[in-house]
Amino acid sequence: MGHTSLDKIIALQRNPANIRNLCILAHVDHGKTTLADCLVASNGIISGRLAGKLRYLDSREDEQIRGITMKSSAISLHYRNGDQEYLLNLIDSPGHVDFSSEVSTAVRLCDGAIVVVDAVEGVCPQTQVVLRQAWLENIRPVLVINKIDRLIMELKLTSQEAYTHLQKILEQVNAVTGTLFTSKVLEERAEKEKIEERESGTLSGDQVYDWSAGLEEADDSHLYFSPDQGNVVFASAIDGWGFSIQQFAHIYSQRMGIKTEVLLKTLWGDFYLNAKAKKIMKGAQAKGKKPLFVQLVLDNIWSLYDAVVTRRDKEKVEKVVTSLGVKVMARDSRHSDPKVLLSAICSQWLPVSQAVLSMVCEKLPSPLDMTAERVEKLMSVGARRFDTLPQQTQELKRAFLQCSSSENVPVIIFVSKMFAVDTKALPQNRQRPLTQEEIAQRRELAKQRHADRMAADQRAAENHKELTHSGTPQEGQPAGVSTAQMESLTLKDSKPAEEETFIAFARVYSGVVKKGQRVFVLGPKYDPAQALNMLPEKYSASDCVPEVPHLSCCSMESIYLLMGRELEELEEVPAGNVLGVGGLEEYVLKSATLSTSPACPPFTPLNFEATAIVRVAIEPKHPSEMPKLVRGMRLLNQADPCAEVLIQETGEHVLVTAGEVHLQRCLDDLRDRFAKIEISASKPIIPFRETVIRPPKVDMVNEELGKQHKVAIIHQMKEEASQGRSSDTLHVDPSGLVTLTTPNRLATVSVRAIPLPQEVTRLLEISSELIRTLEQVNMSLREGKNLDISLSTVEAITELKGQLESLLQGRKWRNTVERIWAFGPRRYGPNILLNSVEGYQRPSVWQCLSRGDKVGEAGAQATVLRDFDNSIVSGFQLATLSGPMCEEPLMGVCFSIERWDIQSSAASQKQDSMEKDSISNEAVVEIKVEGSSETTPQAGGIASGPSQARRRPDVSSADCYGPVSGQLIAAMKEACRHAFQAQPQRLMAAMYTCEIMATAEVLGRVYGVLGKREGRVLHEEMKEGTDMFIIKAVLPVAESFGFADEIRKRTSGLASPQLVFSHWEVISSDPYWVPTTEEEYLHFGEKADSANQALKYMNAVRRRKGLYVEEKIVEHAEKQRTLSKNK
- Smallest distance, ligand GTP to C-beta of residue 94, A: 5
One character per residue 27-46, x = contact with Mg ion (rule: CB under 5 A)? -----xx-------------
Q: Which is nearer to Mg ion, 69 or 596 (CB)?
A: 69
Provide, rounded to whole angstroms, the least separation between the CB of residue 35 and ligand GTP: 7
Cβ at position 38, least distance to Mg ion in Å: 13
The 3 state secondary structure assigned to 811-871 is CCCCCCHHHEEEEECCCCCCEEEEECCCCCCCCCCCCCCCCCCCCCCCCHHHHHHHHHHHH
Among 40, 173, 238, 789, binds ligand GTP (CB under 6 A): 238
Element (H, E) at 36: helix 32-41
Least distance to ligand GTP, CB of residue 22, Å: 15
Q: Which of 13, 42, 43, 69 binds ligand GTP (CB under 6 A)?
A: 69
What's the chain's Rg over C-alpha atoms? Answer: 35
**Beta carbon nearer to ligand GTP, 659 or 889:** 659
Task: Please give the DSSP secondary-structure letter assigned to residue 767.
Answer: T
Q: Is 501 helix (H, G, I), strand (E, B) or coil?
A: strand
Is the torsion defined by CA of 867, 868, 871, 873 positive or negative?
negative
- For ligand GTP, the binding residue among 4, 18, 43, 236 (CB under 6 A) is 236
Minimum CB separation from ligand GTP for residue 866, in Å?
A: 56
User: Using CB distances below 5 to 8 A depending on partner kind, what does residue 638 bind out of ligand GTP, Mg ion, none?
Assistant: none
Single-letter code of the amino acid located at 802: G
237 binding ligand GTP? (CB under 6 A): yes
Angle at 880 between CA 697 and CA 836, to 5 degrees: 75
Closer Cβ to ligand GTP, 103 or 573, answer by number: 103
Residue choice 98, 102, 121, 149 for contact with ligand GTP (CB under 6 A): 149
In angstroms, give the least distance from the CB of 79 to Mg ion: 21
- Contacted by 150, from Mg ion, ligand GTP, none: CB < 5 to 8 Å by type: ligand GTP
CB 723 within 8 A of CB 942: no
Q: Which of residues 83-112 bind ligand GTP (CB under 6 A)?
A: 94-96
Closest distance between ligand GTP and the C-beta of residue 239, in Å? 6
CA nearest to 192, candidates 175, 217, 222 = 217
Provide the 8-state DSSP code for 516. T
Residue placing its CB nearer to ligand GTP in the complex, 100 or 742: 100
Binding of ligand GTP by 752 (CB under 6 A): no
Q: How many angstroms separate the CA atoms of 40 and 37, rounded?
A: 5
Q: Which stretch binds Mg ion (CB under 5 A): 69-77, 438-446, 551-559, 990-998?
A: 69-77
Q: Taking CB under 6 A as the rule, does residue 30 contact ligand GTP?
A: yes
Q: Which is nearer to ligand GTP, 30 or 507 (CB)?
A: 30
* Total number of residues that touch ligand GTP (CB under 6 A): 22
Q: Which does 984 bind (CB under 5 to 8 A by kind): ligand GTP, Mg ion, none?
A: none
- Rounded CA separation 265/273 (Å): 13
**Residue 1093, binding choice from ligand GTP, Mg ion, none, Cβ under 5 to 8 Å by partner class:** none
The smaller minimum CB distance to Mg ion, of residues 32 and 108, is found at 32
Nearer to ligand GTP, 305 or 560 (CB): 305
Quick one: which of 28, 74, 666, 808 contacts ligand GTP (CB under 6 A)?
28
Interface with ligand GTP, residue 888, by CB under 6 A: no
Choice between 67 and 706, CB closer to ligand GTP? 67
Least separation in angstroms between CB 28 and Mg ion: 8
Q: For the residues of 229-298, what is the DSSP string, one character each?
A: GT-EEEEETTTTEEE-HHHHHHHHHHHH---HHHHHHHSSSSEEEETTTTEEEE-HHHHTPPPHIIIIII
The dihedral over CA atoms of 23, 26, 31, 36, expressed in degrees to the nearest 10, equals: 0
- Candidate list 9, 12, 25, 26; residue touching ligand GTP; CB under 6 A: 26
Q: Which of 16, 31, 582, 1057 binds ligand GTP (CB under 6 A)?
A: 31
Other beta carbons less than 10 A from residue 309's beta carbon: 17
As a dihedral over the C-alpha atoms of residue 527, residue 528, residue 534, residue 537, rounded to 10 degrees, the angle is: 170
Beta strands in 128-240 (DSSP E): 140-146, 232-236
DSSP, collapsed to helix, strand or coil, labels residue 651 as: coil
Nearest approach, Cβ of residue 154 and ligand GTP (Å): 7
End-to-end CA distance of the chain: 82
Of residues 115 and 1035, the one with the C-beta less far from Mg ion: 115
68 is a site residue for ligand GTP (CB under 6 A): yes
234 in Cβ contact with 148 (< 8 Å): yes
CB of 661 to Mg ion, least distance (A): 13
How far apart are the C-alpha atoms of 170 and 227, rounded to whole Å? 9
**In the complex, minimum distance from the CB of residue 139 to Mg ion, in angstroms, rounded to a whole number:** 19
- Least distance to ligand GTP from the beta carbon of 295, Å? 23
Contact between 1058 and 995 under an 8 Å Cβ cutoff? The reply is yes
147 forms part of the interface with ligand GTP (CB under 6 A): yes
What is the biggest distance separating any 2 CA atoms in the chain, rounded to whole angstroms? 121
- Long-range pairs, 678-683, Cβ under 8 A, ≥24: 678/620, 678/621, 678/622, 679/618, 679/619, 679/620, 679/621, 679/629, 680/618, 680/619, 680/620, 680/621, 681/616, 681/617, 681/618, 681/655, 682/616, 682/617, 682/618, 683/616, 683/1041
What mask of x and - would describe binding to ligand GTP in positions 906 to 935, judged by CB under 6 A? ------------------------------
Write out the binding residues for Mg ion, residues 891-930 only, by CB under 5 A. none
How far apart, in whole angstroms, are the C-alpha atoms of residue 513 and residue 510? 9
Nearer to ligand GTP, 26 or 872 (CB): 26
Amino acid at 379: M
Residue (31 or 641) nearer to ligand GTP, CB? 31
- Let me know: does 359 contact 143? Beta carbons within 8 Å: no
- Indicate which single residue of 4, 21, 69, 896 sits in contact with Mg ion (rule: CB under 5 A): 69
235/685 with CB nearer Mg ion: 235
Q: Please, which residues bridge with residue 901 across strands?
A: 748
Question: Closest CB to ligand GTP among 29 and 974?
Answer: 29
Separation between Cα atoms, residue 352 and residue 235, nearest integer Å: 7
Separation CA 683–CA 1100 (nearest Å): 11
State the residue number with the nearest CB to ligand GTP: 95
Q: Is 78 in the site for Mg ion (CB under 5 A)?
A: no
The reply on whether position 51 binds ligand GTP by CB under 6 A is no
Q: Tell whether residue 659 is a contact of ligand GTP (CB under 6 A).
A: no
- Helix 481-494 vs helix 458-470: crossing angle, to nearest 10: 100
- Ramachandran assignment for 419, one of left (phi > 0), alpha (psi -120 to 50 degrees), beta (any other): beta
Cβ-based nearer residue to ligand GTP, 147 or 653: 147
Distance between CA atoms of residues 181 and 138, nearest Å? 11
Q: Which residue number, 237 or 280, has a Cβ lying nearer to ligand GTP? A: 237
The only residue of 4, 33, 552, 836 in contact with ligand GTP, by rule CB under 6 A: 33
Q: Least distance (Å) from ligand GTP to the CB of residue 559?
A: 28
Question: Of ligand GTP, Mg ion, none, which one does residue 273 interact with (CB within 5 to 8 Å by kind)?
Answer: none
Round to whole Å and give the CA distance between 659 and 97.
Answer: 8
Query: Is residue 165 within the footprint of ligand GTP (CB under 6 A)?
Result: no
Residues in 3-32 at the binding interface with Mg ion, rule: CB under 5 A: 32
Q: Which stretches of the chain bind ligand GTP, using CB under 6 A?
A: 26, 28-34, 55, 67-69, 94-96, 146-147, 149-150, 236-238
Q: Which stretches of the chain bind Mg ion, using CB under 5 A?
A: 32-33, 69
